[in-house]
Amino acid sequence: MQRITRHLLVDEPETSYYVIRASREGPVVLVTAGIHGTEIAGVQAAERLRNIQLNQGTLIVIPTVNIRAYRRRERGKPDLNRTFPRRSSDKAKHRISRHLFALARRYQPEWCIDLHEANGFYRLDRSKLGQTLIAYPNQATVYTAKQVVAGLNQSITKGTRKFAVKQGKLYGSFRTAAGAVLGCRAITVETSMQQPRAVRVQYQVRIVRALLREIGLI
């Protein structure tokens, strides 16, 4: 029997997060979406994940981190994904990122999965990030991402639409702050915005579920 509880990350505007605890102890995983308000598929995918059945561990889901930007369908001013701390001595530079990072410090997740969307297709143009999993450099993180991508790509027939794994640090981003400051295994999921929203949502859900299987929660 698992337990799902709702909490507030930020009270104005009201921003919820959900803690799903299985009856068995296990890894803690944090899934975030909506850091950029224009990236709708990640938000919708995260909402679907709220009711996932866990075998063990704890899953924390924040469907819409930047809810004001999401309601306006704007990326966000300033760009929230450039305001997270670069070092353990730093503070996040925005009220929402401070709350999110404080939450991550409190729960100490082993994994952070941040859902995003990008233009283009990486396999068609390496300057684009669409259809990638970007791992904060760590051998185990990269291995897990490659396992997930290999399984997912079996069902994608067109080569340019297949996913790829990248490694990268982007200081100020949540992925890099989680990896560098908290020591999490951190992955950013980037689906291509040149695909129908329903397809993007499906990919996001499938990727998170595959990662959770690899980690052992489901």
Determine the pLDDT at residue 1.
Answer: 84
| Dihedral, 179, 174, 140, 61 alpha carbons, nearest 10 | 120
Query: What's the CA gap between 190 and 122, in Å, rounded?
Result: 10
Please list the ranges in the chain whose pLDDT falls under 50. Answer: none
Matching residue, tokens 């990640």:
42
Closest-CA residue to 47 (of 35, 32, 57, 37): 32
Q: Where are the domains of the chain?
A: 3-215
Contact criterion met (CB below 8 Å) for 122 and 164: yes
45: its two tokens = 């995918």
Matching residue, tokens 């790509």:
153
Closest-CA residue to 207 (of 158, 139, 134): 134
The set of residues, in sequence order, having a beta carbon less than 8 Å from that of 120 and lying 6+ positions away, is 127, 128, 129, 130, 192, 194
Query: What's the CA gap between 163 and 130, in Å, rounded?
Result: 8
Tens-place pLDDT, residues 104-158: 999 999 999 999 999 999 999 999 999 999 999 999 999 999 999 999 999 999 9
CA distances for 127 relative to 80, 101, 122, 123, 173, angstroms: 22, 29, 7, 10, 18
Domain 3-215 has CATH 3.40.630.10: yes
Query: What's the CA gap between 3 and 133, in Å, rounded?
Result: 30
Matching residue, tokens 């990072």:
101
CA distance between the termini of the chain: 13
Closest-CA residue to 79 (of 105, 107, 116): 116
Alpha helix ranges (H) inside 26-155: 40-49, 67-72, 95-107, 139-153
